[in-house]
Structure 1
Amino acid sequence: MTTAARYVSLAVTAALAAVAGLAFHRVFGYGPVVPVAAVAAVVPTLLAGLLSGPRRKGRPWPLWLSLVLTLAAWAGTCALTVLRPALSAGTLPRTLRDGVLSGWKEILTTLLPAPAEPRLLVLVHVLVWLAAFGAAEAALRTSQRALPCVPVLAVWTVALPLGVDGPGTNVPLAAVTVVLIAVLVLVRSGESDAGPAWRPLALGVPCAAALGVLAYLVAPVVPVGADPYDPREQVQAPPPQQRDGVSPLDRVGGWLLRPDQVMFTVESDRAEIERLAVLDAFDGVTWSSTARFVPTGSRVPEGPERRRSHTTTQRITVRDLPGVWVPAPDRPRRVEGMPVVADPAAGTLAAAEPLAPGRSYTVTSVVPEWTAEDLEDARVARDAEARAALELPWGPGATSEPVQLDEFERFAAAATRGATSGVQKAAMLAEYLKRYARYDVTAAPGHGYRHIDYFLAEGRRGTPEHFAAAYALLARSVGLPCRLVVGFAGGKRAGGTVQVRAGDVMVWPEVKFEELGWVRFNPLPDNARRSEDSDAVAAGESAQRLEQAQKNAASPRQGPGPGEEPGKRAAVTAAPDEPTPWWVFASVAGAALVLAYVLAALLAPALRGRRRRAGPPAERIAGAWRQALDHLADVGLDASRTLTAQEVARFGASNVGADAHGELDALGDLADRAGSASSPPDAAAADRAWRHADAVGRLVTAKAGRPRRLRRRLRPRSLTGR
């Protein structure tokens, strides 16, 4: 391999290492990763190139010296780039240690994209640096063609699992990697020192580019039989945390007594209901959250797929909202301007520290929408989450079942008598409570068994806390999985913003249905939460449409609608779940085989020609003669016969032209002398032989035409050279 080819290999290995580093974009995003990957790929490659220069007698510097110097260079480069903030703060050793030893685990317990913090980015820096250094040393110190790719592929084995749940795709980067690997192999399998270095690339680079385009186009349609391996499933999630010492549900009564206190302000094009906390666990006395909060850079994972939804973006500024719960519409997808932790299951947000007045953030949410048609066919969920939302524990320290449970069951059965579906049962229960009790903000707070029993049996007046908690207990007693949500609805417009006040607090129950997920129900009387202010803001169009759809569902359904046949809707919704037909996989496999054959048939002659040009001069001259015979086969030369040089020259004159006779005659003379001379031929003779062979190829192309030669290349015999 020529010296120039080795140094060209360094540029390719640096590009491979940088592309492998960019694969971490699903973890951090392109912005933070691009400068880290570029520096970590270029600097060790340049260092390896400088140390590979001749020290004495053409020998490079020893490998141990390269190792020592690259470690020192990595420490300095990392401190001045990625860890520069830690260097300024005097925490460099601790940050470096945490990043190298535990950065990967913190990434696995963080919702992607992860925050671009130095202790996390140092993992990318060290992996790309080691890959670039290893690839460069392998390219300079070995003659193996593909060996320099191994360290780079090791980076991919780390980047792909860490970013399996992140946004975006690595298919374009994988296609570029395929192209660069092919180019590297072509460069390192070039001619000897006597041959030009551009010949392997003339055909190889276009073919490598075609291979990369093929990989990019085929990757999205390749059938995959299983979900990708996610190492986050093997990492123990953090335990449920009580993010706030006081539950938001316990604050509702106090907030309602100070209705004009501004909790936060919202800048948005449309009004939405703001969720604060999801309370899904009940112990007989209090409702609490089992949320498993994990850090996130800005993204919140998607929830269950919705049939209909709309996207909304809000700018929220905290005023007098206590605690750490962060309000946002359901379901938040991106939060910017404030570091938060998120519960991947419910989508609720919390701050690391109690909220401070004046703190602002921007949240983008995908708000689900439901229609009466969606609710008509919904069935009550029965998964693990739904079964947990059916529990009615006896209470802390209780040794017997509370008497209130039987009373709740009788009450709920009476309220839902005549219901024929889960949705109808849930809607009828909400409508019953609206008419059964009065809304009263002065009612004593409390949501345990005794409090709700008093609310239903004697008091019959209460706040959103009582109505929602009563609904949840009654719903669970008749088999409806239910949880509570604390949030805010409405507000008061002041200029371009909406002031969400303490009096706008809401508590509502949610029931889980198959395919629909958690659906909100409103058991509050119609006169609740209505402000007399002329500038009051309604709860939102989506909430109003949902309540209207539930009121319609509360009435017994009178058979199928106009023009609708029974069972027709079920057939429509089941269609997407049908398995992919076998012929789709067969077609993809057939197309892949055809493309693979075409690429192999086009590459085989080029690879044979490259092998024939390599080796001692005598072998190169013999290879030039065989190359000329292959050219003449395109115009009818019978390769199965053994012909003399004179016979081949006469065939060329009669079928190609007089110019071919002269080229073949001179080439045949060189081949005869190389096989019979007492002294071996020199490199100049081999170069002349290949000039004659290339001239024959050009003459045959002019005579036969490129289409004819291309059709011959596609024959099976072209793969074997016969």
Structure 2
Amino acid sequence: MRAATRPLAAATVDAVVIAVLVVLAAAAFGGAYGGTRWWVAAAGGALVGAGVAVLAARRRWPWWGTGLAVAAGYLLFGAALAVPASAIGGVLPGIESLRLLTVGVVSSWRQLLTVAVPVGTSGALMIPVYLTALVTAAVGTSIAVRARTARRAWWALVAPLTMLVVAALFGASSPWLPLLAGLGVALGGLAWASWRGRSAGGGLDLRRPVSALVVLAAAVVAGFVLGPQADVGPRFALREVVQPPFDPQQYPSPLAGFRKYFKDQRDADLFTITGLPAGARVRVAAMDDYDGVAYATSSALDPFRKVGDEISGQPPSSAARAATVQVSIEDYRGVFLPLGGSLTSLQFDPDGARSATLQDAFRYSPGNATGVVVGGLAAADGYRAQVLTTPMADQLDLSSTPIEPVTLPSPGKISDDIVAMAGRLTENATTPQEKIAAIRKGLADQGFLSHGTQGEEPSASGHGLDRLSALVGDQVMVGDQEQFAPTMALMLRAQGIPARVVMGFAPPTDDQGSPVLADGQTWTVRGGDATAWVEVPFQGVGWVAFDPTPDDQRIEQQPDPEPEVAPRAQVLQPPPPPQPPQEITTDEVNRSQNDQNDQDNQNDDASDSGAVVRTILLVTAWVGSALLVIGGPIALILWLKARRRRRRQEAAVVADRFAGGWDQIVDVATDLGYGAASGRTRTETAADLDATFGGSTVLLARRADARVFGPEELDDGQARQFWADVDAAVLGLSSGRSRWRRLRAALSLRSLRRSGRTGGRR
């Protein structure tokens, strides 16, 4: 027999109380999420769960019917409450939001534990708090409204207690939020149990409810005021024992610091390596993700995992050579590990002081053939590795070897100049192999190598889309590996060929290009050995290296100046002598009269021309007045935006220029229709921008935070480079929009009215 239910009014009170207690218990999540948006997910989930439970009780549905109703409510309201960025209009469920809600029942918990706090609210990260609030509120309300006695109804308090335990385990390790949340749940549950007992004619009866409220208020105040002053010790949280996966994009791109090797460390001993085959290069990082600002390493092919001594990867090809190398770190710094090839095993120097620490911090991605040490390398670190090296493309016959189809992150918009040049270089190529060779040869033959140091041709650093477009758009292509390798990779991507950029070091060679070092010889790697190349995957061979760098011996030839011709001296010729009066003839007198008539006619024509000019000026004045009325406001808007941009770029404090650059991105997005919420961090805003516009601004947001809040000294060059990357990101935001939409954005007043600033110098 189905349980009887309470009257609707009493059941509504029970549902509201249970929902409020569940939301109070959810406060323990606060240390993990940060911000306030997750409260909407918690409160919404609790109300949906409680409402479904009341409806199911009134309809006398069985437990499985209630479960189906809760599942339906989860999917119906979850789009707006838990994954609003993927919902239609931010409210209605769509295909993507339903996918996230379905998969997120399992995967979102792992994401919540492995993302660094505060995790924010992007993607499926709010599903755990929404789902837990929904289920606990539904279960607690069902028990409360279906219970026949007050004592059985008290079992409903298990629901908010369960919410408290889950929130404490998946929250941050700070003890105060769980303590305050538990205090609120305990006192609130006590008050509800007293009311429920009295309404049933028995049970717990607090004869002085006013005193209970005073005790509750005093306890809450004491918790907030005295709690932080006491030492209660650390609290257990699951995220303390769960090792988050290494996210390489939390660190700057290795290619972004390419020029420092030639300007600051050209002759510095970075590290020594012994055991490499002759001519083999040292790879630092493979980068396959380009956002228009920088090439970065991603986990698209293979995530970075913690590995043991033996490393399993893809089976070696017939062209690969095995080698055992020994590396000793000197002046090299960074998280990316210099390696001689694909790893099969690695062991840090057992005699080193940091051997155990390095081994615990080591992560490796076989698909990228890239290793990292979380926390970075230091002087005197060393390791021994067994590697597999693949020869360069010019040492292999790849004419009949097909390209391996791999999926890499989309580079977004590739500039028209790069696409056009790729088309010109490959117009006579018919196979992918011929296209690769044509693009490599075209860049190497037409380009000139310059690192922009003293005594070299001027060459700007960076590899943002604007810099690469300028490289191929100039009459003479001047740059170094930081520009030529990304340009070749983007040209190949434009031709549908998978390609990635690799940063590393190349061994010295003689004038004929032959290796100077023999097999296994010790090589002291210096900053001047830094280089970058492109890799393309071939079936059965693996990733093969192609180097588009121009010959470093070639120097741009300036055209010989045209010889100047000395001008001849100007000699003033004397006027002819006047004729005697007696020699003047009648014909000459007639000609003089005709000349006078012509002069009079010219004066008349001048008068007519003056009238025409006056008419033109009058028409221009009328038309100009109309244009001034229409174009004046337009010019004012454009001037205000230009002045705002100039003030940000020329701020007296260099850190303010980085903050202003990020504000410039948000203002452009605002004019394009993005609703920038105040009080959000730059990283949270960047995640919303990427979801809305399809670009990638997270790296810029992190760079802005690092420069604004970081301890290092900043200079004008860093600020100029950051603004160049900002311009490239702004171009990415506007790409794909119609000309009319871009014009509306340029004249929009939304950004001028925007008072908030995301992630400022607070």
TM-score (norm 1): 0.37
TM-score (norm 2): 0.35
